[in-house]
């Protein structure tokens, strides 16, 4: 049951890191949307391994195959199936791990839950599972742009203790993609790149923060009580591997403010209700108010490091582990399209749900 996400725009991802392939089935996509494999490939290329010197050097082209759900270049209203074959899987490289638990990985918890585990790269716990999310997010992205021009952008705001000061209203896709770190601030981006290379040389890893904004979101998206837009975005983003925190708008800073400092006063602008500030990040009562949705997601350091660590075997014997293999010293540059995908999936689902809420 944990492999599915969404209500009306619903996805189910499948596959393992070192199996035959990974993919996604999308159910509920309306008919008539122009969709080609190239639309999906554009986003997968931003997520794929081996794209720069600061990412894992696993060599995967991550070529998308659109198996069903389209006809003559348009969605048919039926289930869309997308598959990516694994080309550089090396399950034998993990054989030395089958009888011990890697610190801060899902090895022990998966075995505690199921009684055994897929030790070849972590199975479903591997971040390679996110290929299906990004592929489905590419479809949601096209839908949202066609429906009402919604644009979601994410970028790296912080790596370790290096933080960029960026105006979210000014960020462009070109600025984000001009940096291999995916930080629009060129100067701090270079420092971030050097920090990632430094920790890689030391056999260590670092985390950071991704900032995201969704523009042109119409008011009214979100359901009362349990399916608030804030709640569904939180579930979507915290379900990504290595996430450890999420805040909307002023987030935790709100705790130190008064109501008069935090409230967003209403004004009329061009015959439209607006808010003078956007401390609540475009959502009030869990429903969008027409302002930009703005959030930050914190990612922990990559769990796989090349330094020696204490652990235990499956039979409880103390041992040492010094990891080896191809791993990201920092997940954030490749996590940017994952964050965008999950936000777009939530917005597409809630847009469809809103269409069923009123007679006019």
Regions of the chain short of the pLDDT cut 70: 89, 91-93, 325
Q: What does the pLDDT read at residue 91?
A: 64
Q: What does the pLDDT read at residue 336?
A: 98
pTM here is 0.96
Domain ranges across the chain: 4-355
Q: What does the pLDDT read at residue 215?
A: 98
Residues in the chain: 360
Q: What does the pLDDT read at residue 358?
A: 82
CATH number of 4-355: 3.60.150.10
For residue range 303-312, what is the model confidence (pLDDT) as tens digits? 999 999 999 9
Cα distance between residue 202 and residue 281, in whole Å: 39
Q: What does the pLDDT read at residue 17?
A: 83
Q: What does the pLDDT read at residue 19?
A: 85
Q: What does the pLDDT read at residue 52?
A: 86
Q: What does the pLDDT read at residue 89?
A: 67
């Amino acid at each position: 049951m944990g492999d599915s996400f969404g209500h009306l725009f619903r996805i189910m991802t499948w596959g393992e890191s070192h199996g035959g392939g990974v993919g996604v089935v999308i159910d509920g996509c309306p008919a008539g949307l122009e969709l080609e494999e190239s639309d999906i490939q554009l986003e997968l290329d931003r997520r794929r391994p081996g794209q720069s010197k600061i990412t894992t050097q696993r060599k995967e082209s991550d070529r998308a195959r659109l198996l069903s759900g389209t006809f003559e270049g348009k969605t048919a209203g039926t289930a869309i199936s997308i598959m990516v074959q694994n080309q550089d899987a090396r399950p034998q490289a993990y054989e030395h791990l089958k009888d011990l638990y890697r610190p801060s990985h899902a090895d022990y918890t998966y075995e505690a839950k199921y009684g055994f585990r897929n030790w070849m790269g972590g199975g479903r716990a591997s971040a390679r599972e996110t290929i299906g999310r990004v592929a489905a997010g590419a479809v949601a992205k096209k839908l949202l742009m066609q429906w009402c021009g919604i644009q979601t952008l994410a970028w790296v705001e912080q790596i370790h203790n290096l933080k960029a000061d960026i105006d979210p209203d000014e960020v462009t896709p070109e600025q984000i993609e001009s940096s291999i770190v995916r930080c629009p601030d060129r100067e701090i981006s270079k420092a971030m790149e050097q920090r990632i290379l430094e920790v890689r040389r030391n056999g260590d890893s670092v985390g950071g923060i991704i900032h995201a904004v969704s523009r042109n979101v119409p008011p009214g998206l979100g359901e009362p009580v349990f399916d608030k837009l804030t709640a569904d975005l939180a579930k979507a983003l915290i379900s990504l591997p290595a996430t450890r925190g999420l805040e909307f708008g002023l987030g935790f800073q709100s705790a130190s403010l008064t109501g008069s400092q935090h409230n967003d006063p209403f004004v009329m602008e061009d015959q439209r209700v607006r808010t003078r500030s956007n401390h609540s990040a475009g959502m009030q009562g869990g429903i969008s108010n027409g302002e930009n949705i703005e959030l930050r997601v914190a990612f922990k350091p990559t769990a796989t490091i090349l330094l020696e660590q204490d652990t235990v075997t499956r039979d409880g014997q103390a041992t040492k582990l010094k990891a080896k293999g191809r791993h990201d010293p920092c997940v954030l540059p490749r996590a940017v399209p994952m964050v965008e995908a999950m936000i777009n999936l939530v917005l597409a689902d809630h847009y469809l749900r809103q269409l069923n809420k009123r007679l006019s």
